[in-house]
Amino acid sequence: MDTQRKLEILADASRYDLSCACGTTDDDHRRRGAGGTWLYPASLPGGGTSVILKTLLSNSCVNDCRYCPLRNDQDCRRCTLGPEEIAGVFMDYARQRKAFGLFLTSAVIRSPDYTMDRMTAAAEILRGKFGYRGYIHLKIIPGSSDAAIAKALSLASAVSLNVEAPKRSAFETLSKMKDFDRDIVSPMKLISRLTAKGNRYERVKQTTQFIVGASNESDSDIVRATFGLYRRLNLNRVYFSAYQRGLGDPSLPGERNRPANPGDVLTREHRLYQADFLIRKYKWDMEDILFEADGSLSLEVDPKQRWAQRHPEFFPVRLSSASRDALLRIPGIGPITAGRIIKTRRQAHIGSLKDIGLRGKRLEKASKYSVTE
């Protein structure tokens, strides 16, 4: 099999890892590149966004992850790219300015450290032979040794180790071969220590991803774990990937307990991203995220509006005098709009939310929870 054919197969297989494939506009979503490869949106270290080439090193896996179509008991066409092949293909993209950086992940070949050695070898070729100084994101394989993780950090701009589930009991339904504390929690803590401010690899960003809906986890389990990852381990970003039903083991809880409305799966993922935004950008506390009796986020309204509905005593908020934090509690008003309100009211009276450019559904929503006087 030649390099191009392997790249087509492996780039296509990488679609099962959906981190950074989310967004609200077409520019936020992945798109096809030449030869069947996937190009993904990515946040640049200095601000703004660009695209990265994403591929697997290999789809040959020794692990038993029950949600994954590439797990060891599945019959699919397997192949592996060599480090030189990956480096060469990426540099072709980089020279043509078709990709800003590389996101390299992999199934587990032989062992975690063997796989990490192949991935870091590709990064070493890019950094050494080609003198590439741009963005490289390396996926850390669960169970990797401390030395393998440190080497990845020495070469990468960002790393990620997928936490997959918010607690041990949920994780154990997804894999019998991996250990939650040994293979997931301990390596994530190590990465956090090595990338902490003042340490050698502080420039390297750490992210992770939950598989949503494959196990028996609740939204409250995921949000609570997300809160802890930001506060205790200083992660830069947490992603959520809705489990793609029909690809995993038929006995998974996520296969047996399918929602009546198939669209609810993606709505649930979207609500988790909204809760994540409130924690990450608004600095909301855990108790500000409200759940239904079964621990789920509301599918009908977003987490911010649910808080507003349960706290009528807080409203209406006076646009003429409210603090920025109070303005951000108003459904339909985000950081940009709140800043515009504060700037505008210093110079003139705000007669209507239309005065600061609010329109459509956001205007209708915000008007119910605010007054101009």
Provide the H-helix boundaries in 163-207. Answer: 168-172, 186-194
Question: Per residue of the chain (373 residues), what is the pLDDT tens digit?
Answer: 788 888 778 877 776 665 444 443 444 455 555 554 545 555 544 455 557 888 889 999 999 999 988 899 888 889 999 999 999 999 998 998 888 899 999 999 999 999 999 999 999 999 999 999 999 999 999 999 999 999 999 999 999 999 999 999 999 999 999 999 999 999 999 999 999 999 999 999 999 999 999 998 999 999 999 999 999 999 999 999 998 888 888 889 888 877 778 788 889 999 999 999 999 999 999 999 999 999 999 999 999 999 999 999 999 999 999 999 999 999 999 999 999 999 999 988 888 888 888 899 999 999 999 998 7
What are the φ/ψ torsions at residue 155 (nearest 5 degrees)?
Answer: -110, -20
Quick check: pTM over 0.75? yes
Give yes or no for a contact between 77 and 9, defined as CB atoms under 8 angstroms apart: yes
pLDDT tens digits for 238-293?
999 998 888 888 889 888 877 778 788 889 999 999 999 999 999 999 999 999 99
Would you state the pLDDT for residue 21? 43
Which residue in 312, 300, 302, 325 sits closest to 368, CA to CA?
312
- Partnered with residue 41 across adjacent β-strands are 51
d(CA 228, CA 222): 10
Provide the 3-class DSSP secondary structure of residue 206: strand
Q: Check residue 15 and give its pLDDT.
A: 65
Inter-axis angle of helices 83-95 and 3-13, to 10 degrees? 90
Distance CA 241, CA 51 (A): 19
What is the greatest pairwise CA distance in the chain? 71
> What pLDDT score was predicted for residue 28?
44
Domains in the chain, ordered, with CATH? 3-256 (3.20.20.70), 312-371 (1.10.150.320)
Please provide the DSSP assignment of 322-368 as one string. Answer: --HHHHTTSTT--HHHHHHHHHHHTTS----GGGGT--HHHHHHHHT
- Give the tens place of pLDDT for each residue, 89-101: 999 989 988 888 9
